[in-house]
């Protein structure tokens, strides 16, 4: 039986500037639960820092990955393989459904997820070997399904860049999901891939409200900057889809049509959406964030979230986890469909070619004779 995560936040939590999660929730595999004397500890912190906790530094460790392609057979996901060059994500999106993956490292899905990162430095080398495996068949690889492949540390480490170079050389189809403007750096690779119908970029725009964005996803690009990224990619000939995700009732939900309009004006050709998902430890983290930043709306938001998930905080069923169910789900879908029709945005994934794939040499150091 799987353990349920601790659902209560520490007493008197004070949000840290530049971070999404407000505390380090105990992960579901922990056998020992530790709790400080909340009143005394927090009172001391508040006195020492004049009501504001010191910023947390980002720590990066390095991993020599044994494999890099992650396979899935989920019926509601359009790809069956993905690459995540990093573990954890400095963007700090409090709603991120991938936060619980940090539990497998013995780290908290809370502040640890956005401050203790792991980079897979040999990702390109391992990918080369996996693509060269006899019998490998090309299909779309999704880059950035769990953590953003273009988060800030990519600027220096360039692991995602190296992965793209391998895929470009092999003429392998790749779809990128990001909310970072750093993707523009790799236009020299993406444009030739797009010309061969081998790539598309899915840019997530959660809200157009800058103040909300700073609280919700504190180290991600601003909404305006993301729209500019859509425009830059589209003008360069790279197919762009806007991900209106996640839709959070009474927070980001009122922005849905405005986001779609702005993205279409910027050059997006398609749109997609998902509703808020609160698996495992994400649930207490989000609810505490909501209570800290929007206490007057917290109960109203959670009531509608439960309406979307059959009365629960979250339902992981494949049929409904992405879009929800019930009246609210139907209303969101109707609004989305009408906006797509009005703006001529397609509601389907871009079809990428798989027939151009050329397997790399199994030993990257060995040159071809021909």
Q: Which of 44, 50, 53 is nearest to 14 (CA)?
A: 53
C-alpha dihedral, 37 to 41 to 46 to 47, nearest 10°: 120
The pLDDT, as a whole number, for residue 42 is 44
Using the structure block, give the residue that is written with the tokens 């500037």: 17
291 occurs within a structural domain: yes
Structural domain harbouring 306:
56-343
- 62: three-class secondary structure by DSSP: strand
168 occurs within a structural domain: yes
The pLDDT, as a whole number, for residue 319 is 81
Tally of domains within the chain: 1
27 occurs within a structural domain: no
The pLDDT, as a whole number, for residue 9 is 46
Decide: pTM greater than 0.95.
Answer: no
Phi-psi bin for 326: left (phi > 0), alpha (psi -120 to 50), beta? left
Report residues of the chain scoring pLDDT below 50. Answer: 1-12, 28-29, 31-51, 364-370
CATH value at residue 192: 3.80.30.30
The pLDDT, as a whole number, for residue 22 is 64
313 occurs within a structural domain: yes
126 occurs within a structural domain: yes
The pLDDT, as a whole number, for residue 367 is 45
Listed in sequence order, the residues at least 6 apart from 33 whose beta carbon sits closer than 8 Å to its beta carbon are: 6, 26
47 occurs within a structural domain: no
Please state whether beta strands 70-71 and 81-83 pair in parallel, antiparallel, or not at all (unpaired): antiparallel
pLDDT in tens, 32-57: 444 444 443 344 444 444 445 557 78
Q: Which of 114, 117, 166, 167 is nearest to 139 (CA)?
A: 167
Q: Which of 91, 46, 81, 278 is nearest to 163 (CA)?
A: 81
CB of 347 within 8 A of CB of 260? no
Walk across the sheet containing 141-143 and list its strands.
70-71, 81-83, 141-143, 174-178, 199-204, 240-247, 270-275
Q: At what angle do helices 256-266 and 326-343 cross, to 10 degrees?
A: 30
pLDDT in tens, 164-216: 999 999 999 999 999 999 999 999 999 999 999 999 999 999 999 999 999 99
């Amino acid at each position: 039986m799987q353990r349920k995560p601790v659902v209560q936040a520490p007493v008197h939590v004070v949000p840290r500037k530049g971070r999404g999660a407000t505390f380090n929730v105990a992960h579901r595999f922990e056998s020992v639960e530790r709790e400080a004397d909340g009143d005394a500890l927090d009172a001391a912190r508040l006195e020492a820092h004049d009501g504001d906790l010191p910023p947390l530094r980002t720590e990066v460790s390095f991993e020599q990955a044994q494999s890099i392609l992650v396979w899935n057979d989920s019926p509601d996901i359009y790809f069956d393989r993905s690459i995540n060059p990093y573990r954890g994500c400095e963007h700090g999106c409090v709603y991120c459904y991938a936060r619980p993956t940090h539990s497998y490292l013995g780290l908290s899905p809370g502040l640890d997820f956005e401050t203790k990162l792991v980079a897979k430095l040999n990702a390109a080398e391992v990918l080369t070997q996996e693509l060269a495996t006899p019998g490998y068949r090309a299909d779309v690889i999704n880059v950035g399904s769990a953590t953003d492949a273009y988060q800030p540390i990519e600027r220096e480490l360039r692991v995602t860049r190296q992965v793209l170079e391998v895929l470009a050389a092999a003429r392998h189809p790749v779809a990128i999901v990001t909310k970072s403007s750093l993707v523009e750096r790799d236009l020299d690779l993406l444009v030739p891939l797009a010309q061969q119908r081998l790539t598309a970029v899915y840019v997530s725009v959660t809200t157009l409200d800058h103040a909300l964005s700073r609280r919700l996803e504190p180290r991600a690009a601003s909404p305006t900057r993301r729209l500019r990224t859509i425009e830059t990619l589209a003008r360069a000939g790279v197919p762009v889809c806007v991900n209106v995700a996640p839709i959070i009732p009474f927070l980001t939900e009122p922005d849905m049509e405005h986001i779609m309009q702005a993205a279409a004006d910027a050059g997006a050709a398609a749109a997609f959406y998902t509703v808020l998902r609160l698996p495992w430890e994400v649930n207490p983290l989000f609810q505490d964030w909501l209570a800290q930043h929007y206490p007057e709306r917290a109960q109203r938001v959670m009531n509608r979230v439960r309406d979307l998930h059959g009365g629960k905080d979250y339902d992981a069923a494949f049929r409904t986890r992405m879009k929800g169910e019930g009246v609210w789900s139907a209303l969101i879908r109707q609004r989305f469909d009408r906006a797509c029709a009005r703006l001529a945005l397609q509601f389907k994934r871009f079809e990428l070619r798989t027939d151009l794939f050329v397997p790399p040499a199994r030993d990257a150091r060995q040159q071809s004779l021909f």
